[in-house]
Amino acid sequence: MSETTDREMIRVEGLCKSYGSLEVLKEVDLSVKKGEIISIIGPSGSGKSTFLRSLIHLEEASAGSILIEGEAVRRADNKSVPDAKIRQHCRKLGMVFQNFNLFPHKTALGNVMEGPVTVLKKSRADAEREARALLDKVGLAGQAMQYPCTLSGGQKQRVAIARALAMEPDIMLFDEPTSALDPELIGEVLAVIKALAEEHMTMLVVTHEMGFAREVSDQVIFMDEGRILEMAPPDKIFTSPDHPRIRTFLDKMI
Amino acid sequence: MSYLIKSAQYILEGGAVTLKLFFITLAFSLPLGFVCAMAKTSRIRAVRIVMELYTSIVRGTPLLLQIFFVYYGLPILLPGLRLERFSAAALTFVLNYGAYFTEIFRGGIQSIDRGQYEASRVLGMSYVQTMTRIVLPQTIKRVLPPVANEAITLVKDTALVVVLGIGDILRNSKEIVSRDFTIVPFVIAAGVYLLMNYGVVLFFKKLEQRYSVYE
Ligand SMILES: Nc1ncnc2c1ncn2[C@@H]1O[C@H](COP(=O)(O)OP(=O)(O)OP(=O)(O)O)[C@@H](O)[C@H]1O
Ligand SMILES: [Mg+2]
C-alpha cells in the first residue's frame, strides 16, 4: 500500500473510443491521485489497452476529456489541442509495453539515453551517468553495452522500464508488462515495479497477475465491454465484488 | 607491351568518366530515394499520387529511352533547356536510380514495426526525430542487400552513355577495337568493370558487417 496525497494527476471524464462502429470505450471516468497505484483487470477485448493508450495519446479518443496534472490533452468540446502541447503534457506519463518495443539498433544504455538526449536535450555525459544509475536500479548495470537481441525477455522489459524512467515521468503506465515473458522471468520484472510502488510512483498497471494486483494496488479497476464495471480496493474486488461477472472472471483466472 | 599499356591507359581514362557518373548518381539518388520514400508513405494523398507516377513511369520505361528523352527530347519540349551530354546522362541516372531506391526504402520503412513509432512517441519524440533517430537507421540495415544489387547494376548501366558519345570505358575500348581490329580492349574493359564491382561488393560486405552487431 502506498501513501497518496490529494493532488490529482489524471482526470478522465466521459472518455469514448470507437473503431468504426465498434465502441471500445464507453463513457469512462477516472481520477488518479498522486502516489496512487491502480491495477486494471478484465477480460480480453474489454478495452484495457485502448484506455491506457488513449491516456498517452497513442489512440485518439472520440469523445470526453483527459487532463494530465490539470492540463488538457483532450478537450470535452472536441477542440483540438496542438500536437506540441500534447507531447509536452504526455511526457509526464511513462509507458511500458507488453512487447518491450526496445530500439534494436541501440544498446541497453543507448535505449535509456535516447529520450533524455533527443527530447530533453541533455548532454551525453549527464544522460549516460543517469542512464547507468537507472540500469543499476533495475539490476542491469552489467548489461549496459549489450544489444536487446542478446537480452532475455525479463532483462528487455527492465531496460524498457529504465528507458521510461529516464524521462522522469510523474506517472507510469504498464500494459501487461509480464504477459510476453516466460513464467520464470515474471518475478524479476514485478520486483522492479514493486520497488517503484515503494517509492510512491503513481501507476496504472494493466495486468493478469492477480497476486501482484492484490498485493500492490490501492485500487483495482475491473473493465468489461468498454466500461469500468467496478473500482474498489483489492480486498473488496477479490473477496466481495458487487458484480457477479467479476466473481466469474476471477474464478476462471485461478 | 607498350601497346597494351597505352590501350589500358586510354580505357582507364574512360574509367574516370564511368566512376564519376557512378558516384554522382549514388550521391544524389540515395538521398532522393529517402525523401521520396518518406513522401510515398505520407498522409497526404496528392503527394503519394505524384510519387506513384514518378516511380511507375521511371521503372516502367527503358533507361536508354530516358537518356534519349532528357538529351534530345527536353530541348524540343522546352527550347533553351539543352543540357551538356554528361549532365544529361547524370540527371537521367539520378532520376532513374532515385525511383528504384524510393521503392527499396519505402519497403524498408514499412517493414519497421509500429511499436518502434509508439515507443518513440511515448518518449516525446517528434516525427522527424523518430524518423532520423529510430526508423531510418534500422531501415538502412534492412535495405543494404537490395541497395548493393542496385549499385552493381549501376556500374554496368553506366555503359549506356556511349549512345551520347561520352568517352567512358566502353566507348574508349570500342574506339581501339575499330581502329586496330583486336578484341584485347574489350577484355580489358570487362576486367575494369569486374574490378569496380568487386570493390562495390567488398564495400557493402564491410557495411553489412558493421550493421550485424544487432538483431
Ligand atoms: N486498431 C484497432 N482497430 C480496430 N479494432 C481495434 C483496434 N485496436 C483494438 N481494437 C478492438 O478494441 C477492443 C478492445 O481492445 P483492447 O486491446 O483495448 O482490449 P484489452 O482489454 O487490452 O484486451 P487484451 O486483454 O486482449 O489485451 C477489441 O475488441 C479489439 O479488437
Ligand atoms: Mg491489451
Q: What is the 3-state secondary structure (H, E, C) of A147-191?
A: CHHHCCHHHHHHHHHHHHHCCCCCEEEEECCCCCCCHHHHHHHHH
Distance of CA B205 to the CA centre of its chain: 18
Query: CA nearest A10: which of A60, A63, A66, A49?
Result: A66
The maximal CA–CA distance of chain B, rounded, in angstroms, is 70
B154-192 pLDDT, tens per residue?
999 999 988 888 878 888 888 888 888 888 888 888 999
What distance in Å separates the CA atoms of residue A204 and residue A206, rounded to the nearest whole number?
A: 7
Ligand 1 neighbour A47 (Cβ under 6 A): yes
Q: Is A45 in the pocket of ligand 1 (CB under 6 A)?
A: yes
- Contact map slice: B 107-166 vs A, CB within 8 A: 113, 115-116, 118-119, 121-126, 129, 133-134, 137-138, 141
Amino acid at A24: V
Q: How far is A103 from chain B (nearest CA, A)?
A: 7
Q: Which three cell numbers stand for residue A8?
A: 490529482
* Cβ–Cβ below 8 Å for B125 and A115: yes
Tell me which residues have their CB within 5 A of the ion that is ligand 2.
A 49
Ligand lying nearest the CA atom of residue A18: 1
Q: Which of A101, A117, A147, A165 to mutate to test the interface with B (most CBs of B within 10 A)?
A: A101
CATH number given to B2-214: 1.10.3720.10
Q: How far is the CA of A225 from the centre of ligand 2 (A)?
A: 13
**Over the stretch A55-113, which tens digit does the pLDDT of each residue have?**
999 999 999 999 999 999 999 998 999 988 998 999 999 999 999 999 999 999 999 99
Per-residue pLDDT at B7: 83
CB contact at 8 A, A119 and B125: yes
Contact A104 B213 (CB under 8 A): no
Integer Cα distance of A193 and A203 in angstroms = 9
Q: Which chain B residue has its CA at the smallest distance from A96's CA? A: B119
B158 to A152, B57, B196: CA distances (angstroms): 49, 20, 12
- Phi, then psi, of A34 in degrees rounded to 5: -60, 135
From chain A, which residues contact B within 8 Å (Cβ)?
56-58, 87-88, 90-91, 93-95, 97, 99, 101-105, 114-115, 118-119, 147-149, 163-164, 167
Cα–Cα distance for residue pair A157/B112, rounded to 1 Å = 20
The ipTM, to two decimals, is: 0.93
Quick: pLDDT tens for B64-116.
Answer: 999 999 999 988 888 888 889 999 999 999 999 999 999 999 999 999 999 99
pTM score, two decimals?
Answer: 0.88
User: How are strands ordered across the β-sheet holding A93-96?
Assistant: A93-96, A171-175, A202-206, A37-41, A219-224, A227-232
Note whether B154 and B97 are within 8 A (CB).
Answer: yes
CA torsion angle A144 A149 A153 A154 (round to 10): -10
Q: What is the mean pLDDT of chain B?
A: 92
C-alpha distance from B108 to closest chain A C-alpha (Å): 15
Q: Read off the pLDDT of residues A191-222 as tens digits, 9 standing for 90 and up.
A: 999 999 999 999 999 999 999 999 999 999 99
List beta partners, residue A232: A220
Answer whether B129 sits within 8 Å of A118, measured CB to CB.
Answer: yes
Give residue-wise pLDDT tens across range A158-175: 999 999 999 999 999 999
Tell me, what amino acid is at B185? P
Question: Which atom of ligand 1 is nearest to A42's Cα?
Answer: 21
Is the pLDDT assigned to residue A3 strictly greater than 70?
no
Query: What whole-number distance in Å separates Cα of residue A189 and Cα of residue B84?
Result: 66
Domain positions in chain B: 2-214
Report how far ligand 2's centroid is from the alpha carbon of A169 (Å).
Answer: 22
Answer for the pair A246, A237: CB distance below 8 angstroms, yes or no: yes
Dist CA A188 CA A203 (whole Å): 18
Give the residue from B178, B199, B174 showing the smallest Cα distance to B14: B174
In a mutational test of the pocket of ligand 1, which residue from A16, A18, A19 has the highest number of ligand atoms less than 8 Å from its CB? A19
By Cβ distance, the residue of B118, B129, B133 closest to A58 is: B118
Q: Which amino acid is at B27?
A: A
Rounded to 5 degrees, what are φ and ψ at B152?
A: -65, -45
Closest CA to B42 of B113, B109, B120: B109
